[in-house]
Structure 1
Amino acid sequence: MIIEIWILCSIVTAVVAALRGGHSLRWLLIGCVLGPIGIIVALLMPSLKSEEKAVAEKRKDDAEEIARPLVENETRTVSAKHDDD
């Protein structure tokens, strides 16, 4: 029962975030971790969509800049092998 509620919360979080202009997969994972709190966080998130094109572009650029260090760190790998060339 609890697992089904948690899964439903993660899906609702992703849908709410996608409607507000967020990345749905990222918010699905946030919903998986936070559960019902994820829905509240997605609702409180400022909308990246706007009627004014300049405002929407600025919000999108700000969101991408915040996410950039996270994306750059994901591509790096750590190896336990020593490189003795």
Structure 2
Amino acid sequence: MILEFWILCAIATAVIAAVRGGHSLFWLLIGCILGPIGIVAAIFVPSLKAKDPSVAAKRQGEVDELARPLRETDTKAVSVKSKDH
């Protein structure tokens, strides 16, 4: 019973955050860890979909800055495939 409630809280946290412009997988994990507190956190964190374009652009820039290392490719990666093909 408690496990089902915790899973429901995690899903609700992810949905609330996605509607407000947040990353749903990140907030799903927060909801898994914090449960009902995650729902409250998702509600009170400032929305990335602000009505003022300058505020929305600033917040989106912050999100892009955090996600940039994840998107950059490592040029020193070693391939397992041989170059004969």
Question: Which ranges in structure 2 are unaligned for 5 or more consecutive residues?
Answer: 75-85
Q: Which residue is equivalent to 2:55? A: 55
Q: Which residue is equivalent to 2:64? A: 64
Aligned length: 72
Mapping of 1:1-85 within 5 angstroms?
1-65=1-65, 67-68=66-67, 71=70
**Aligned-pair distance for 1:51?**
2.6
User: How far, CA to CA, are the matches of 2:51 and 2:44 in structure 1?
Assistant: 19
User: How far, CA to CA, are the matches of 2:41 and 2:51 in structure 1?
Assistant: 23
User: How far, CA to CA, are the matches of 1:69 and 1:51 in structure 2?
Assistant: 25
Name which one, 1 or 2, has greater alpha-carbon Rg: 2
Question: Which ranges in structure 1 are unaligned for 5 or more consecutive residues?
Answer: 76-85
CA RMSD of aligned residues (A): 2.1
**Aligned-pair distance for 1:50?**
1.9
